[in-house]
Structure 1
Amino acid sequence: MEVKYKTLEIVNTNPNSGVVYLYLNRPSQRNALSRDFFSEFPEALSSLDQNPNVNVIVLAGAGSNFCSGIDLKTLSSAADPASSADRGRFAERLRREIKFFQDAITAIEQCRKPVIALVHGACIGGGIDIITACDIRFCSKDAFFFRQRG
């Protein structure tokens, strides 16, 4: 039974090839990374890693962009100081949120199967973190990159 994800799609175009495509699948939001993504992505990678019929994972974005970075709603909810009564509790909650986000990227590094990023259109912020963790990156002529410093 194949798992259905809110933010991802797994496509195996040829079951005999061992190549599986893992799509960031929020094209209407330019594949912005939502909270659901950060939960689903490590789970999907682990599942593919454990599947003996998978030899290579190709990571791509659905629609006209690879990834527009972290969804601003996800980011603002993680960094809302009003959600905690004191500064220490807020700082600890923020640290845990950042670790939760980072664990999704670390899942690529922990995957024993090669992960190849196919980048087209925008690759911004967290999208750059994702492709940097991949084993190989291929970019189309229309690919562009932006990472905010700070």
Structure 2
Amino acid sequence: MTDTASLLVEDRASVRVLTMNRPDKRNALDNALTQALLGALQAADRDPAVKAIVLAGAGKAFCAGADVKEFGGFVHAGGADDASRAAQAALDRAHLTTNLHRVFSQIAKPVIGAAHGYAMGGGAGLALACDMLVAGESLKLGYPELKHGIVAAIVMANLVRQVGRKTAFELVSLGETVDAARALALGLANRVVPDEALLETAVAFAERLATFDGPAMNATKRLFHRVADLPLQQALDASLDTNLMMRSFRKEGGKAQ
């Protein structure tokens, strides 16, 4: 296991487990953790020994969202120079956060989320960005931003695509917390398990995915994200392209290269 202070990285055979490690802050996302997580996901995707990824949170929560204390300087900047630096810092952070949420669909390897306790705001967004999600029974997932006078902006695109317009609007406008059972019913989670079985269940899912042919798994994920928002005819064309591409990777009577 390697430790970058705010992120733990552990390899279990061909599964890489990334654990957000700010338990005293409920794994709230500051710049350091956000950058570390983005880099770790990209590094896992480049590593040929890694076939699947698990994302978890240390302590009693998955991720409580953005670390609001880190944004204090943005709000309380003094003179014009301070205000300009604060505005640039806020813009840089927004781009970093967007890149983190974007990378889940860009990397070829599947990511299994293991979420328990609080998964709020940006933390809920991370949970939904995973390709599959195992929820602990203690999960409390929600988007409370509007209650604090801000917008659940970056996380909204993925939320709408996963639960549909009316449910997504309910979640971001009312800001009500969703428990594990409702997350499962809404299709936000794939399984609900006791917290003590959460990580092992997520790793078991990842291990199953890791046994499949690598090029086929990678092509499956790429095609899945490609067709999700395409009209039917374009989606069928994309599917045909992938079918033909995978055939070109195969030997006669053999497996994909």
Give the TM-score range, shorter chain.
0.7 to 0.9
Matches within 5 A, 1:30-49: 30-49=26-45
1:120 equivalent to 2:79? Answer: no
Structure-2 residue corresponding to 1:24: 20
The alignment status of 1:8 with 2:7, answered yes or no, reads yes
1:103 aligns with 2:103: no
Residue identity opposite 1:67 in structure 2: C
Distance 2:93 2:54 in 1: 27
Aligned to 2:71: 75
Note the 1:89-100 alignment, pairs <5 A. 89=84, 93=88, 94-100=90-96
Q: CA offset at residue 81 of structure 1?
A: 5.9
Q: 2:143 aligns with which of 143, 147, 150?
A: 147
Q: Secondary structure at the match of 1:108?
A: helix
| d(CA) in 2 for partners of 1:8, 1:136 | 21
Secondary structure class of the residue paired with 1:70: coil
- Cα distance between partner residues in 1 of 2:115 and 2:34: 19
Equivalent residues in 2 for 1:55-74, closer than 5 Å? 55-74=51-70
- Confirm or deny: 8 A CA contact 1:20 1:56 kept in the other structure: yes
Deviation at 1:109, TM superposition (A): 2.1
SS in 1 for 2:126: helix
Task: Pick the structure with more strand per residue.
Answer: 1
**Unmatched tracts of structure 2, length 5 or more:** 152-257
How far the C-alpha of 1:95 sits from its partner, in A, is: 2.8
Output one character per residue of 1:95-148: Cα deviation in whole Å (capped at 9) or x when no partner: 333112221222222221101111111111110111121111111111111212
User: Which ranges of structure 1 fall in alignment gaps of 5 or more residues?
Assistant: none
Shift of the 54–73 alpha-carbon distance from structure 1 to 2, 3 Å rule, reads: same
Contact 1:6 1:36 in 2 (8 A): no
Q: Which has the higher contact order (CA 8 A, sep 6+)?
A: 1
Q: Find the partner of 1:85 among 66, 80, 85.
A: 80
Is the CA contact 2:8–2:20 (under 8 Å) kept in the aligned structure 1?
Answer: yes
Count of equivalent residues:
145
Cα 1:141–1:52 shift into 2, 3 Å: same
For residues 59 and 83 of structure 1, the distance between their equivalents in structure 2, rounded to whole angstroms, comes to: 39
Report the TM-score when normalising by structure 1.
Answer: 0.84
Higher Rg of the two aligned structures:
2
Point out the structure with the larger helix share: 2
Q: In 1, distance between residues paired with 2:35 and 2:136? A: 28
TM-score, normalising length from structure 2?
Answer: 0.51
Residue identity opposite 2:131 in structure 1? D
